[in-house]
A and B are shown apart, each in its own frame.
Chain A
Amino acid sequence: MAAAGDNIAISVEKLSKNFRIPHEKHSTLKATVLNVFRKKSYSELEALRDLDFQVRKGEFFGIIGRNGCGKSTLLKIIAGIYMPSSGKVRVNGRISPFLELGVGFNPELTARENIYLNGAILGLSRKEIDSKFDEIIHFAELEEFVDMKVQNFSSGMHVRLAFSVAIRAHSEILLIDEVLAVGDANFQEKCIREFSRFKEEKRTILFVTHGMDMVEKFCDRVLLIDKGRKVELGNPKQVSLEYSRLNALEKERREGEDVGAADGSERKIEITSVESLDEHRKPQKIFQSGDDIILRIGYRARTAVEKPVFGIAFYNDVGVCVAGPNTRTSGMVIDSVEGEGSIELRVRKNPFNEGSYYTTVVIFDWEILNPLDHIDKANSFKVVTEEKNYGGMIKLDAAWENRPAEDAP
């Protein structure tokens, strides 16, 4: 273990954390004494379950997951703020004891006083702060505001000051919980340079976020947590794909499928189902850009319906109609339908860029004047892409050709 431990900064083994949530919380001595003989009931909230991973020294390690997935609890256990319920956390090296920037800033005090206060909370001695004071103020670009009360600072100034103090606490392992959301682009760039410097100095950084951008930009490896469990651990690209899948699934679950919930009135024909399928006709909600997508519309016609027209409109998540094919404009004539049946649209090599899409399905008469039935947002699916997305809604089937001047006619 000793040999392996040399380049391991943090090792987490079988870590679980449960919170006990009492059904009745007695926050007074009186209530506790009065209820001393009553059986206490509580429910266990499982925040983390059997987590196993190691962070190497000098690694920029990301932890992502949706809100409430347990990532902050994990960071708190690593920092020593919470105790694990079971399992072990070993930290090799001085760890920064804080999770959030500017915790402990007192708005009533000036920037100068807060630097000393915050520095002390981070474990710096007065002498150390004295020697780093100018550097801190300079980095935060607050030379002119040293003696201003922090309560008059803008949020950007606040973060700059906090970040500047924090990175000077001489810890070998830095824990950072969503920082760079604030601050102007200029300062963010400075922070990024600072991060690269940390990397060169072989300092370890644990970076927690629910956004992918920063993770893809910096992290060497990423741990994806969902519902307190490890879902994936690996390089940022691979994990981010899994993460967007997870998000898409979750969104699906929340939206539900309200297909077939047409109102009770008698219709000649109604849409009974709308499904998205992959090329093997298996139900699928998530597609890679370029995959075939099959949309199947199920219908039931009470009487014979002459020359119906089926149409599907694709909307993106901001409500723009991306495409709206229908059977008539595609040159298809359906003489008559009766009873139950289905019709499929195959989107060959789907051109969609990454995002969520909704389909609205309609059955018209031949003149496309009267909708016989329609379902808004009958179905949704998600498209993910591994390539870099340079904007736009669709990927064109296009090719570049370089034609230097001498080739021109």
Chain B
Amino acid sequence: MKELQPYKYSGMVRELTLTDFKLKYKASFFGYLWSLAKPLMFFGVLLVVFTKFFKIGGAVPNYPVYLLLGIVLWTFFTEASFSSLTSIVGRGDLIRKVYFPRIVLTVSASITALITLFLNIIVFFIFMAFAKVSVPWTAPLFILVLLEFFILTSGISLFLASLFVRFRDIGHIWEVTTQALFYATPILYPLSLVPEGFQKLLMLSPLAQVIQDGRYLLISNDTATAASVLGYPLALVPYALSVLIFVVGYWFFQREAYRFAEEI
């Protein structure tokens, strides 16, 4: 009955994203500054704790930029997944009254977070310059890592958004889960401090792989990556997981989508 017209709805994605962005940053003059302040504050606190109190960071070269990149990427992950989580339920008015591919809502929520990520990465580069860390030639490859990261995050977002329609406690469950994931991902501690057996386990997570790859490409080629920790072919697992999570998330979302209007 309905033909797919992705081009037709790209306009809708853009307008929804623009609206989200506009409203977020129009509300107050410091709109964007606030969304920047959050990761920066977090970064500042962690930096003090881990270089002055625990002295873990002190031993690692470039620890502040490592930490900042980790936090910037992590912020995207949580922002995208949490705003996607409510993207369907929050637009019940539209869903009940208008026909359009429901995925538009979740995609535009993820893209809004992606725009913030781009702005934050610019800030990261400025910080790099101040810290006098030179950018290696591998930096442009970071785009590929971002692409994988976006696919991974979208997969999780689609899954969460459709689950949230039926189960309203997914929000709490996801909050706890992200907290666990935060500590299971080498964001504030260097991977080298983790016992070797656990290192391998942690690196299987696509989140750890993305952050470590990012650090490798943007900061220093000394960074441990999935390839160096796991070796071939195990190193392919996190990449494959990203794709798998996306495929499952997308499939699940599309399976549920036709019922959204009735269940919201």
Contacts and interface: CB of A to CB of B under 8 A. Distances in A.
Same assembly: yes
Nearest to B170: A29
Interface stretch (B53-61, B75-83, B96-104, B142-150): B96-104
A83 B258 contact: yes
Contacts of A120: 11-12, 14-16
A32 B166 CA distance: 10
Interface stretch (B1-9, B39-47, B221-229): B1-9
Interface in A1-28: 19, 27-28
Given A29-B167, A89-B1, A97-B99, A123 B12 contact: yes
A130 to B, nearest CB: 12
A32 B167 contact: yes
A80 B15 contact: no
B38 interface: no
Contacts of B15: 116-117, 119-121, 126
A120 B261 CA distance: 20
B12 A121 contact: yes
Chain A contact residues (Cβ within 8 angstroms of B): what range? Answer: 35 or more
Given A76-B261, A89-B1, A28 B98 contact: no
Interface of B: 1-2, 5, 8-9, 11-12, 14-16, 19, 22-23, 26, 93-100, 163, 166-170, 173, 258-259, 261-262
Contacts of B167: 27-29, 32
A117 B9 CA distance: 12
A126 B97 contact: no
A190 B23 CA distance: 34
Interface of A: 19, 27-30, 32, 76, 79-83, 89-91, 97-100, 103-104, 106, 108-109, 113, 116-117, 119-126
A119 B15 CA distance: 9
Given A104-B93, A119-B15, A120-B12, 9 more contacts: A28-B167, A28-B168, A29-B170, A81-B98, A82-B262, A120-B15, A121-B12, A122-B98, A123-B8
Given A80-B99, A99-B98, A125 B11 contact: yes
Contacts of B163: 29
Contacts of A122: 98
Nearest to B165: A27
Contacts of A116: 15
A83 B99 CA distance: 11
A7 B221 CA distance: 68
B19 A126 contact: no
21 contacts: A29-B173, A32-B167, A76-B96, A76-B261, A79-B99, A80-B99, A81-B98, A81-B99, A98-B97, A100-B97, A103-B97, A113-B19, A113-B22, A117-B15, A117-B16, A120-B14, A121-B15, A121-B100, A122-B98, A123-B9, A123-B12
A109 B5 CA distance: 27
A116 B166 CA distance: 32
B22 to A, nearest CB: 7
B94 A104 contact: yes
B98 A97 contact: yes
Nearest to A30: B169
Q: Which 8 A-B pairs have the closest CB atoms?
A: A120-B15, A97-B99, A29-B167, A28-B169, A80-B99, A103-B97, A120-B12, A120-B11
A126 B259 CA distance: 30
A123 B12 CA distance: 7
A336 B262 CA distance: 68
B168 to A, nearest CB: 5
B258 to A, nearest CB: 5
Contacts of A89: 1
Nearest to B166: A27
Given A83-B258, A117-B19, A124-B11, A104 B98 contact: yes
Most buried by B among A82, A104, A126: A104
Given A120-B11, A125-B11, A27 B97 contact: no
A22 B111 CA distance: 36
B22 A81 contact: no
Nearest to A19: B262
Given A19-B262, A80-B2, A89-B1, A103 B94 contact: yes
B151 to A, nearest CB: 25
Given A27-B166, A28-B167, A106-B23, A121 B98 contact: yes
A76 B258 CA distance: 12
Contacts of A97: 98-100
A108 B93 contact: no
Contacts of A80: 1-2, 99
A109 B11 contact: no
A298 B168 CA distance: 62
Contacts of A79: 98-99
B250 to A, nearest CB: 20
A98 B11 contact: no
A346 to B, nearest CB: 54
Contacts of B22: 109, 113
Contacts of A100: 97
Contacts of B170: 29
Contacts of A106: 19, 23
B149 to A, nearest CB: 27
B262 A29 contact: no
Nearest to A32: B167
A121 B99 CA distance: 9
Most buried by A among B12, B97, B262: B97
B92 to A, nearest CB: 11
Nearest to A33: B167
A117 B169 CA distance: 31
